[in-house]
């Protein structure tokens, strides 16, 4: 589907990064302002990874997945 | 071509038909053409492909309520079984041919890879939620699991199968 602009590896990486950020934030491994940022910012790669669509890619006119074949 | 004539030709045609509504100025239509031709060869003798230029056969397009191109309509026994809007992937296009051939519309499902990714993410979120005791992560895990198990949920984000 053209809507999806992330490749499989990109999506997996985002989901992993999201879960790691959320863990670092919510588990208190990282505290302070950065910890709070991680707590909420972790949802961003997680959601974009699960959905397969990155708004930034659209903004810059790029994509990591190949066009439908 | 007159809409009624087009419809009667479809009904009289012995084989299932994929009607490809296209136009020469439509980039995605041109990009999809080789793939369509490829599957046309694969389904030769079982499913026919009729190409309708919406510029010259506007009536036929109107009869099928085509407002966007490319639109592919799967017809079996003169009746529309399924349709796809936009340039589909090879898998989805093959599914369209199969649906037209059998006359049975198949509900779209999320990709197996998507299902696996969502399930893994839900497990990860639940694990992090359990380790940290953060309720919001349990909620996120539940929503992600729902998205993994339910084919209709997040339907606009369906990807290739």
Tens of pLDDT, residue by residue over B15-66, are 999 999 999 999 989 988 999 999 999 999 999 999 999 998 888 888 888 8
- Among all residues of chain A, which has the CA nearest to that of B132? A27
Is A3 a domain residue?
Answer: no
CA distance B124 to A9: 17
Is A69 a domain residue?
Answer: no
Is A2 a domain residue?
Answer: no
User: Which CATH superfamily is B3-102 part of?
Assistant: Glutaredoxin (3.40.30.10)
CA distance B68 to chain A (A): 15
* % of chain A with per-residue pLDDT over 90: 54
Total domain count, chain A: 1
- Global pTM value: 0.57
Is A27 a domain residue?
Answer: yes
Radius of gyration of chain A (CA): 14
**Nearest in space to B49 (alpha carbons), one of B103, B105, B107, B100:** B100
Is A68 a domain residue?
Answer: no
Winning range, highest mean pLDDT, from A39-48, B111-120, B143-152: A39-48
CA distance B141 to B7: 49
Q: Tell me the chain B residues in contact with residue A19 when contact means C-beta distances shorter than 8 Å.
A: 121, 124-125, 128
More confident residue, B36 or B5: B36
Q: Tell me the chain B residues in contact with residue A43 when contact means C-beta distances shorter than 8 Å.
A: 140
Is A48 a domain residue?
Answer: yes
Is A67 a domain residue?
Answer: no
Residue-range domain boundaries for chain B: 3-102, 112-157
The token duo for A5 is 């602009």
| ipTM given for this complex | 0.82
Q: Tell me the chain B residues in contact with residue A12 when contact means C-beta distances shorter than 8 Å.
A: 117
Residue A44 has pLDDT above 70, yes or no: yes
Contact B55, B84 (CB under 8 A): no
Question: What one-character DSSP code corresponds to residue B150?
Answer: -
Is A42 a domain residue?
Answer: yes
Query: Which domain covers residue A47, as residue numbers?
Result: 8-59
pLDDT at B157: 47
More confident residue, B104 or B125: B125
Q: Which residues of B have a CB under 8 Å from any CB of A?
A: 31, 35, 86-90, 113-114, 117-118, 120-121, 124-125, 128-129, 131-132, 134, 137, 140, 144, 147, 154, 156-160
Residue recorded with tokens 């529309």: B80
Residue B93 has pLDDT above 70, yes or no: yes
Long-range contacts of B126-135 (CB under 8 A, 24+ apart): B128/A19, B128/A22, B128/A23, B128/A26, B128/A27, B129/A26, B131/A23, B131/A27, B132/A23, B132/A26, B132/A27, B132/A28, B134/A26
Q: Do B144 and A50 touch (CB under 8 A)?
A: yes
- Among all residues of chain A, which has the CA nearest to that of B141? A19
């Amino acid at each position: 589907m053209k809507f999806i602009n992330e490749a499989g590896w990109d999506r997996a990486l985002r989901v992993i990064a999201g879960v790691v950020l959320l863990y670092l934030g919510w588990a208190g491994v990282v505290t302070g302002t950065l910890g709070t940022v991680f707590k909420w910012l972790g949802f961003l790669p997680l959601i974009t990874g699960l959905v397969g669509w990155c708004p930034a890619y659209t903004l810059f006119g790029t994509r990591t997945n190949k066009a439908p074949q | 071509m007159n809409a009624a004539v087009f419809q009667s030709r479809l009904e009289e045609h012995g084989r299932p038909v994929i009607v490809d509504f296209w136009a020469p100025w439509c980039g995605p239509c041109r990009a999809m053409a080789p793939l369509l031709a490829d599957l046309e060869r694969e389904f030769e003798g079982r499913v026919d492909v009729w190409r309708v230029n919406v510029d010259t056969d506007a009536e036929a397009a109107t009869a099928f309520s085509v407002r966007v191109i490319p639109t592919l309509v799967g017809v079996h026994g003169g009746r529309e079984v399924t349709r796809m809007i936009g340039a589909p992937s090879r898998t989805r296009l093959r599914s369209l041919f199969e649906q037209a051939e059998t006359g049975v519309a198949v509900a779209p499902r999320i990709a197996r890879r998507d299902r696996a990714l969502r399930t893994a993410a839900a497990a990860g979120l639940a694990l992090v939620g359990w380790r940290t005791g953060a309720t919001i992560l349990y909620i996120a895990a539940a929503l992600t699991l729902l998205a993994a198990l339910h084919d209709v949920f997040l339907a606009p984000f369906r990807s290739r199968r």
